[in-house]
Every structure is written in structure tokens, then in C-alpha cells.
Structure 1
């Protein structure tokens, strides 16, 4: 089969198209004929090898030589013990552990896959698993009469988060650059903020903040929350994530707010039709 591979960290020019052996599924695994894959920030980080956590399992060279975690395709073969799928099934999922979507065939654990909704194309389905799961978990707690803010709302996860928070009845503010303001409004944001002009931590306090590009201090996040509010961080710089994991708990707890990193859970339960 053909696959886009790389054996060292770097820019996109380290990627190359090669003929490689077609993998065989082990017990509990499924082989998928890939029809579509999407590119996530995690793919870019694993390509570059930065931030540092992108090198987990492969300090000097990539542990997996084919990128592509979000996949959609047709089951081609199943390993021993697989019960939820059979050849011919249309599936999609976030294969972050094994990746392999930038190839004709990919191996994935049965546990990370779901049946593709018939109303979605393969291309549409491939955009959902990672971003959709983050948005679904990150907007838990949004409700009528509550103010929710999504920082980085014009990217991959943000549009899902805006729509989910609106569906729950929240008043939603989206934050991104000026070129994405109209787009955020088009998917349901009640208010939009250009981060280059305004600091959302100094606007009206919010009941829920989902931060996809964190880089401020925990004290700024505390200021942006109402008492009893919750701040959830998913993406950002390593120093910021570490501060949120450590000082965020202390600062939040002492002020009656919750400031933490969202522990994203994977699996088909989060995007099964």
C-alpha cells in the first residue's frame, strides 16, 4: 500500500510517499480502508516534535511513521475478538494512539471506532472525532442563563463547541482573530471578540470558559470567571498547561472557581450516532 511517512521531526518537507507493507490487525483491532482523514493540531505537533509532549514514546525520532489520527473509511478486516464491526462496515474514529490515516489502510483498536452516520460523507465524518469529543466534553455545564466563552473558537474544535453550547441554551462568546469573527457568528456565537484588540479576561465574567489556546496566567482566568464558574484548558503552551495543572487548582479552589486542564476521554461513546 502507499503511505505518507516520515522518520525525523521537522517541517512538512520531511514527509514522503512510499510503498509500505499493508498491516494486519491483531486481536481487538480493525483494519480500515481509509477513505478520508483530517489534519489536527496533534498531527502538526507530532510532525514537528514540539511541544515536548509530542515526543512521548519517540524522543529522538517519531514512534509512529505515518500521521493521521482522525479517520473515516470501510472495515477491510478484523482481528480476533472484534465483535462490533465486520468487513464492509463504514466507520470513523480518533486513532490517536496508532495514527496511520495518511495511508491507504490503517489499523485501529475496535474501542476507538464508531459506525459512520449514513447522512455524513466520509470527509465530513473524518473531521469530527477528535475535535467533536473535545467540544462535547468541554461544553459540559453550559446551560440556559449561563455565559460561555470559547477561546480559539474559529479553529477545528471551536465551531463544534459553539453549536453545542448554544444547543444547551448558553449565551456564547467566541474569541479568535478578526478574519474569523463573521464565521463564528454564522455558526451561532452571540458575541465575538478579536483577541488582537480585546482581552477576554477583562470583559464580562463567564460561567464557563473553554480555552483551546491557553497562554495567560491563572490569575487572569480567575478574573474572567464568576464565583462558581469553571475554566477548562485543552490546548496551549507547555508552561501554561503546567501552571494550570498546579497553581490553577490552588487559585481556583481558594476563590470558589474551578481552573483545570480538560482530561479528554477517547472512545466511540463520544461520537456514536
Structure 2
């Protein structure tokens, strides 16, 4: 099969489109013919091996060379073959999943407990935009943020992949949502359901006197202490990511935030969908929201499979409204 293989760290140019062996599913795995995948910061952090401190951590990209050779954390496609212990799926079924690696290829093996039927009202390209970004938003709002109807929720970075899902999911849970984004994305964020939109080029949400029950910080850009000013005394601050850095960021921002957690009245939390063990359950929850019309993927661009390096390069710029998707 064709796949983009990562053998060393670097820019998108290090990805080598080549022929490799088609994987064989294990007993509890499903072989999926990839019809679409998506690009996200998770992929290019592993591609570049940054921030460098992450190479020392368990589950990180690897100290000297990449641990993951075929990137691509999201997948939508058709079941090609199943392992002997698989009971829920059969060849021909249309599915979507978050295998965390392997999506930048024609085929990928996915554990049965990591995939779900494709939402009936989504194309393969739309479905591929969902798993990691929407899963992260769901985890941050529902599990870490414990969002409740009527609460005031602020999403910093509301126009990106995670942010566009977060605005819609928070609204689906009955919250009053404020989205923070740049001038050119104000109309987009309003169109997906935000009750209020703050243009960060004109207004600093940490200094405008407004207080929120929950702040989901996707974009970063503000110190944790400043973000806590925007919270109620018992509010919750959930960190998702932030601006990339070669050595520490966004890990450093996360560590500094949690270092003060025992000394403040507010709750500090991290939305880490990669280590979540309930991703299939989350996919089914997202499917329900999508099929009910409460959540719709926002897609900025769709690239063909052989232009994956160009798609990553564009996504790295950090200005894509919504998701960048690959159609196979």
C-alpha cells in the first residue's frame, strides 16, 4: 500500500510517500480502507519531535527518532477485513475512528474498541474531521469542565478545529457560550452558535470584567494567571493546547498552570484525549449529537492524499478556520 512514512524529524518535506506492506489485523482489530483523514497539531508535533521536552516523556515522539512512522490520528473509511474476535463490524461497513497513528496511508488497523459506525449524515471527509478534535472538545467540556446548562462558557480559540466543535458541544449541553477568535473569523464563530464573540485583536477577555464558569483554552496566548481572572471564584480552567515551541511550549504552560492549582479556589484541568480510554463511547456520543443536528464539522480545506505535506504545512501556520482534511 502507499503511505507517507516518517523516518526522521523535520519539516513536512521529511515525509516519504512510498510503498509499504499492508497491515494485517490482529484478533481484536479491523483493517480499514482509509477514505479520508485529517491534519492536526498532534501530527506535526510528532513529525518535528517538538517540543523537545516531550521526547523525554512516556508516550512522546521518541528521543532520537520517531516512534510513529505513519502519522494520521483520524480515519474515516470502509472495513476491509476483521480479526477473529471482532463481533461488531464486517467488511463493507463504513466507520470512523481515532487510531492516533496510521491514517496517512491507504489502509490502517484499528482496534474494535476505537471505532464506530460513520454518522449517517456525514461524508467520509466530514467524518474524518471529527474524532480527535471533537473528542478533545467533548472531554474538556463534559469530563474535565463538567459543563452544566445555564453556565457561562468561554472558548479561547473558537475558530480552530477543537474550538469550532467546542462552541457547538457547549451549546448542545445548554451553556451560554462566548467564543474568542480573530476579526476574520467572528462571523464563522457566531454562525456555529456562539452567543457572544470576542475579537481578541480588539478586546482582552482577561481584562474586560466578564466572569465565566468554565474557560476552555485551546489557543493559549494568555498566562494562566490572566485566564483565572476571567473565571468565577469556583470556575474551571481547562487547558487543551497552545502556541507551539521548540523546547517547552505548550507543555511548560500546562505545568505552570497546574503548579498553582493547590493554592487557588478554581479548578485546573487538562483535556488529553490521546490518553482517554473511552474514545469509542465518545465517538458514539458525538454521533448522536451530529445526527441530531447539534454539531456539524467545520472544514476549511480538503487536500488530495498525495498533498499531505502541503496540508500539514498549511495547518502549521495556525490560521485554518475549522479542520484541514485529506481525501483519499
TM-score, normalised to structure 1, is 0.92
1:137 equivalent among 130, 136, 139: 139
Structure 2, gaps ≥5 residues long: 243-249, 288-328
1:271 alignment partner in structure 2? 283
Quote the Cα distance in structure 2 between the aligned partners of 1:44 and 1:257.
32
Q: Does the 8 Å contact 2:140/2:270 carry over to 1? A: no
CA gap of 1:16–1:161, structure 2 versus 1, over 3 A, is same
**Unaligned stretches of 5+ residues in structure 1:** none
Between the aligned partners of 2:26 and 2:54, the Cα distance in structure 1 is 26
Show the 5 A alignment for 1:17-56: 17-52=17-52, 55=55, 56=60
1:63 equivalent in structure 2: 67
Report if aligned partners of 2:86, 2:112 keep a CA contact under 8 Å in 1: yes
Q: C-alpha separation between the residues in 2 aligned to 1:163 and 1:207? A: 17
Q: Distance in 2 between matches of 1:251 and 1:129?
A: 35
Residue 142 of structure 1 and its aligned partner are, at CA, apart by: 3.2
**2:319 alignment partner in structure 1:** none
* Moved beyond 4 Å, runs of 4+: none
Distance change in 2, residues 1:14/1:165 (3 Å)? same
Q: Secondary structure at the match of 2:190?
A: helix
Equivalent residue runs for 1:190-205 within 5 Å? 190-203=195-208, 204-205=210-211
CA distance in 2 between counterparts of 1:57 and 1:194 reads 35
Q: CA contact under 8 A between 2:70 and 2:105: conserved in structure 1?
A: yes
Q: Distance in 1 between matches of 2:112 and 2:11?
A: 32
Query: Residue 118 of structure 2 aligns with which residue?
Result: 116
Alpha carbons of structure 1 residues 53 and 72: separation in structure 2 relative to 1, 3 Å:
farther
Q: Name the CA distance, whole Å, in 2 between partners of 1:157 and 1:113.
A: 19
**In 1, Cα distance between the equivalents of 2:202 and 2:121?**
40
In structure 1, how many angstroms separate the alpha carbons of the residues matched to 2:203 and 2:98?
34
Aligned length: 267
CA distance in 2, matches of 1:143, 1:194: 25
TM-score by length of 2: 0.77
User: What aligned pairs does 1:62-211 form with structure 2 within 5 A after superposition?
Assistant: 62-96=66-100, 99-140=101-142, 141-203=146-208, 204-211=210-217
**CA-to-aligned-CA distance 1:167-191 (integer Å, 9 cap, x gap):** 2222211112222111111111121
Higher relative contact order (CA 8 A, sep 6+): 2
Q: Secondary structure at the match of 1:82?
A: coil
Distance 1:183 1:15 in 2: 33
Q: How well do the aligned residues superpose, as a CA RMSD in angstroms?
A: 1.7
CA contact (8 A) 2:46 2:68 kept: no
Using the alignment, how far apart are the partners of 2:52 and 2:89 within structure 1? 36
* Gap change, CA 1:181 and 1:53, over 3 Å in 2: farther
Q: Give 1:29 shift.
A: 1.5
Seen in structure 2, the aligned counterparts of structure 1 residues 69 and 79 have a Cα distance that, compared at 3 Å, is: same
Deviation of residue 87 (structure 1)? 1.5
